[in-house]
A and B are shown apart, each in its own frame.
Chain A
């Protein structure tokens, strides 16, 4: 089992250089997530994405691709202590899968998160389980598994900081970002 995923691991090593940027941008992107669930991957977004990947990382083109990912919805939410994908989460991931297939050279990293109402180590595992469930859904929809890396942050990177049910619901999430 350990050997099987080695190619994925190697791919993630190659891409380590751009991870800092993608992590910080995912936080900003998630803020606009609720504003538009409207756009599926359109032809214009595809062109922009190809520009982003072919012109060797022009920052503006990358930003465009990030905005497109945000516009299809980069975040899915989970119930307490659950990694089940709700209908709403599946709808978001259907759009993400279409976006990925329309931009076949893009690679993404899915960050799995938990609320603060669990212990640190268990929440690291729970975040991994959520990220894996998200990845597995995208793969089932035809996305090549080698294009998707996952990482768990447990309860370390909340998007809403308040100690209340509203914040906790926002923090039980998996966020897809450009890798």
Chain B
């Protein structure tokens, strides 16, 4: 509890703050603008860097309609915001049944003496209704109950397909204000949906919001597909496709559904990841029993070889500044993690503890690397510093694999597969996520078995 220092500011900035307008999002047929302003910068924030955190209690009022009563869409939006915040493990929602009647509109100042006894540190109030044209009109104010200050406020409009995204963006504002961290709720996940018998698994690319809603399949399942990865704009996905029984890296444009094979090379290309600018892919090419790491210029589709050894060098991942690459290699006799400069020079091994190490992924913050570890018949998801020190294991199981970072570098998603019996029973394969403190492991809801998740950047 002592980490939950919040709202101790003596700053008395007026609540009538000027709004700083942020252009956040364009929908297909509808401009959506949400504005938000932060009043003062004195709010002391939660320290969420280490250890288990007691969640911050926040009250999220049901957003009201023009009549001052909760509207149907307002209830839906409040629920999405609440679910987002609670799912992070860093917030608890003050039971809405215990609510004092919230203000009838976000322009009315709450009676704070009613709210502070509930233990809530923050109060989110808002209005949300569909106007005569069927467009969502929304406003919100986030109050600091302790200092009785308006922390953030904003508003906007959207067509109805944008309702969930607006709610995620408001949740992002609340998250950001109370944690001081960049948020991750307005994001998507692309992954591989699995079905069918174990020896002839049908795998399809699928995409969904980070909370599991708006689920869509991106491929038909006719061809085996694996390991999708988002481009930095989240508009494209690079993945491995067995079309024509020729495994090769493909690029899928999500909006149009257009898919393109990236180059024709003897051997198999696989394990793609984008560079931070989105102009290049780094991937493996396997040929004649050797697997090396190559970089592809996406404009010319030409390859530059980065590693050159008889070993298996694969699963490369760029540092967020693009200067270095982490990958796994069996060049030392067993599968271990190595870091090299982006030009392939200065290769250094970084994993030295017992076990085999795989699938390294550089954190978006740049300071740590997530990985899969195999040791004594078990699989683990862990993180280590870039120099290999400070290893911490966050999840374990019969098979856990393929960590992917939330864009703020605080949460990892991965998949977990249960053992299969000889007659093919069992083998449940689901997505999970866990905080980098190792707490708050949660299953991510998917319509079928799921593997190979990739978390998008914050949507634009």
Contacts and interface: CB of A to CB of B under 8 A. Distances in A.
Contacts of B422: 160-162, 164, 167
Given A120-B452, A121-B227, A128-B291, A159 B247 contact: no
Interface residues of A, number: 42
A119 B315 contact: yes
B284 A121 contact: yes
Interface in B257-283: 264-268, 270-271
A128 B269 CA distance: 11
Interface stretch (B24-32, B194-202, B208-216): B194-202
A6 interface: yes
Given A5-B266, A121-B284, A161 B314 contact: no
Given A5-B287, A6-B266, A161-B424, A120 B226 contact: yes
Contacts of B227: 120-121
B314 A121 contact: yes
B328 interface: yes
Contacts, number: 132
Interface in B169-218: 197-201, 203
A162 B421 contact: yes
Nearest to B418: A163
A122 B427 contact: no
A21 to B, nearest CB: 11
A36 to B, nearest CB: 23
Interface residues of B, number: 54
Which of A116, A119, A124, A156 has the most chain B CB atoms closer than 10 A to its own CB?
Answer: A119
Interface of A is mostly: helix
A163 B314 contact: no
B268 A152 contact: yes
A151 interface: yes
Interface in A1-49: 1-2, 4-6, 8-9, 12, 16, 19-20, 23, 27
A157 interface: yes
Contacts of B200: 27, 157
Interface stretch (B387-395, B397-405, B439-447): B397-405
Which of B303, B315, B417 has the most chain A CB atoms closer than 10 A to its own CB?
Answer: B315
Contact of B419 (A1, A20, A160, A163): A163
30 contacts: A5-B267, A9-B266, A81-B334, A117-B374, A118-B335, A120-B227, A120-B402, A121-B284, A122-B314, A122-B328, A122-B358, A124-B268, A124-B271, A125-B270, A125-B286, A128-B267, A128-B268, A128-B287, A129-B289, A132-B288, A151-B268, A156-B201, A156-B203, A157-B199, A158-B198, A161-B199, A161-B423, A161-B424, A163-B398, A163-B420
Interface of B: 197-201, 203, 224, 226-227, 240, 244-247, 264-268, 270-271, 284, 286-291, 303, 312, 314-315, 328, 330, 334-335, 358-359, 372, 374, 398-399, 401-402, 417, 419-424, 426-427, 452
Interface pairs A-B: 8 shortest CB-CB: A132-B289, A163-B419, A5-B266, A162-B422, A125-B291, A161-B198, A119-B358, A128-B286
